Structure 1
């Protein structure tokens, strides 16, 4: 999007450089299970300013004193975890890049989560693009003047805190099988924390442990990467390890309830030029006449699962639990990134950290490129210049 960088990148791009980039991306780490795009996104200052403004509006809404009461029904009863803290430690906001009536770039909120994203991997990815493609060293994925060193120190403060690193665990289910496993390993490498599967954690009195070198190691803090949807309704696993919903002496980073509070459930409450119209389906009395300009989304799903893009009245009539769905104005992504053979659509994720006793801080970003109907692997299987990437900005 910054023309000078885009033209230079495209002119100097070679398949050999991209292959080198891919080889180095997971060198020393588990194989990457998702497609990496051929290019970063060069974010111009005017779009950067709009993204910051749009993000501020959403974060300020989350900070309002009544937010918890407003989102109480977002948490499924069977998944509510005790000892929820006063705010999320991580917030991610996904914005599709569109154009307004005047032809200017405009971010539109697509999705939001009170849950960690690829905070470690994005630092790694940015450095790799700059190295392999010989990009201007001043280009940065960070906001608020952060550098590699200050960003990593911020993550250390957030995730490890004052605890010994070996008593802080990054937790997910079947950790080595997760598509985001490379982020786990990069984070653990920099912070010294442990990567432990839920199935390898067990309860001992009122706290939890993992086993290492024949000894029980008490866990003081969980850097939680487990989305309960992965467990579904099969609670038998908890009988063999520990049940997160029980009262346990452990700190959550971030607490699981925030995954539900800051989600598609929040979208209908937001009013902003940066947010598409969104409605709880069970509250829609009359369907919009231009239904083709809306999408249907399940509240409690992730990675685009279950989204109906080309909505019909029959689709809506078939839904048995409309209270768990939203009807959302369709965002028309603009193919703003120029590849060698045409335009590519872009989505930018703003990634915030919120340390205890401080204000939320926009730290880094993630980008995804698409030529399909949606952003996501299964919609872009047969295309190039698509996939995961990062936005780079001038200071």
Structure 2
């Protein structure tokens, strides 16, 4: 999936001094360093793989745009996390693909999972710029799709999360945001758009309105850039008794509404079809008629992300231990083709396509990407904290002419 000449040229010119410069350029202005590993190298996609993954993404987006999509996914939303004022579309769509060699020897994308929730959109822009500058990547390679550049990307990103409002009317919300794994992205977002980072404990309510304090002044919140995953607070049953209950009817816009985390998730995988989509089943619907070749499947919880809870080498005992099979899927394994090699090790990875969908736009737009590189079977940056040439990266492409 990489042009051999480009990979050879990058590796031959690579130095660890340049890699340290990369880390310094990203961390210098942050209150605390990035909390996950940044990979030494970007990835360079061939035009063939670029076109295949764009087409694969378009196929999935077409399904999400179906007029009956909400009906299909209504049961995905847990009753305890239902919120008022759901809008008509998500603002962020992320689609993860693994790299697979097909029967014709082509390197092709295979769908791993997807989510209707934001990721490190701000950090990736600076990561791509730093790779480009420090490693002197040729100008005909860039990190953006659809003829976007850095300026147009940030314009679209700002339109998505700030929209027509003043930045002090928009907050980035999470539980204990400064302690989160993705805190660095929060800081980059604040830097570029001037919005405040707030915790659930910072919110105040007057009637149906939410307020917070900024520089000693109480401010009205018109939009929440939501980075709070309800499943991550499931072990705190009193959290909405002790703080503002976000599920109630509030006079605030959600970017994006919490329901989309559930609607666009692994819950969707059994409904999707296509060459790039491995066969997937809801475990509760197949538990009494399991495939004979369980070794060719992966067992995944529906809503946990970052690789948590995934069982790669399944046994019947693993399935027998599951007490809530309706919250699990059984997915055909994708055999990852290495993206490149380092010091005799295969470096595998997944590419995450990142879409933005501002209000008023008819369709989400593919913008940029995340690459997660690994030297083992788990494509999870938290499993590769001490492995060289693994971690978070980004793919460069040459835009179609």
Aligned residues: 395
Deviating above 6 A after TM superposition, structure 1's stretches of 4 or more consecutive aligned residues are none
Deviations 1:155-183 (A, max 9, x none): 11111111011110111111111111111
Displacement of 1:235 after TM fit? 3.8
Which residue of 2 is the match for residue 103 of structure 1? Answer: 105
Aligned-partner Cα distance in 1 for 2:383–2:160: 35
Alignment match of 1:273 (pick from 272, 275, 281): 275
Find the counterpart in structure 2 of residue 393 from structure 1. 397
| Cα RMSD after superposing both structures | 1.2
CA distance in 1, matches of 2:234, 2:323: 18
Give me the whole-angstrom Cα distance separating, in 2, the residues matched to 1:246 and 1:94. Answer: 32
Matches within 5 A, 1:191-270: 191-270=193-272
Give 1:355 shift: 1.9
Per the alignment, residue 19 of structure 2 pairs with 18
CA deviation string 1:324-343 (max 9, x = no partner): 11001011111122335343
Q: What secondary structure, in the 3-state scheme, does the structure 2 residue paired with 1:106 have?
A: strand
Cα contact 1:143–1:364 (8 A) shared by 2: yes
Following the alignment from structure 2 to structure 1, what is the Cα–Cα distance between the partners of residues 385 and 153? Answer: 33
**Does the 8 A contact of 1:294 with 1:311 survive in 2?**
yes
Q: CA deviation at 1:126?
A: 0.2
Gaps of 5+ in 2: none
Give the match's secondary structure for 1:140.
Answer: coil
- What is the aligned partner in structure 2 of residue 9 from structure 1? 10
Q: Does 1:325 align with 2:331?
A: no
Say whether the 8 Å CA contact 2:171–2:224 is kept in structure 1: yes
Q: Does 1:373 align with 2:374?
A: no
Corresponding residue of 1:158: 160
Distance (Å, rounded) in 1 between the aligned partners of 2:237 and 2:291 = 40
Q: CA deviation at 1:24?
A: 1.8
The 3 A distance-change label for structure 1 pair 189 and 378 is closer
In 2, Cα distance between equivalents of 1:295 and 1:180: 27
Counterpart in 1 of 2:127?
Answer: 125
CA shift digits 1:37-61 (9 cap, x unpaired): 1100001110010011000011100
Kindly state the Cα deviation for residue 4 of structure 1 after the two structures are TM-superposed. Answer: 2.0
What is the CA–CA distance in structure 1 between the aligned matches of 2:344 and 2:132, rounded to whole Å?
A: 23
Alpha carbons 2:37, 2:390 under 8 Å: kept: yes
Q: CA deviation at 1:133?
A: 1.0
Shift of 1:312: 0.5
Equivalent residues of 2:36, 2:385 under 8 A apart: no
* 8 Å CA contact retained: 2:37, 2:384: no
Identify unmatched segments of 5+ residues in structure 1. Answer: none
Quote the Cα distance in structure 1 between the aligned partners of 2:12 and 2:282: 47
C-alpha deviation, 1:304, in angstroms: 1.1
Contact 1:112/1:262 (<8 A) preserved:
yes
Conserved 8 A contact 2:98-2:111: yes
Partner SS state of residue 368, structure 1: strand
Q: Which of 336, 340, 347 is the matching residue for 1:337?
A: 340
1:83-103, Cα deviation, whole Å (9 max, x unpaired)? 111111110000001111111
TM alignment of 1:135-154, pairs within 5 A: 135-154=137-156
- TM-score calculated relative to the size of structure 1: 0.97
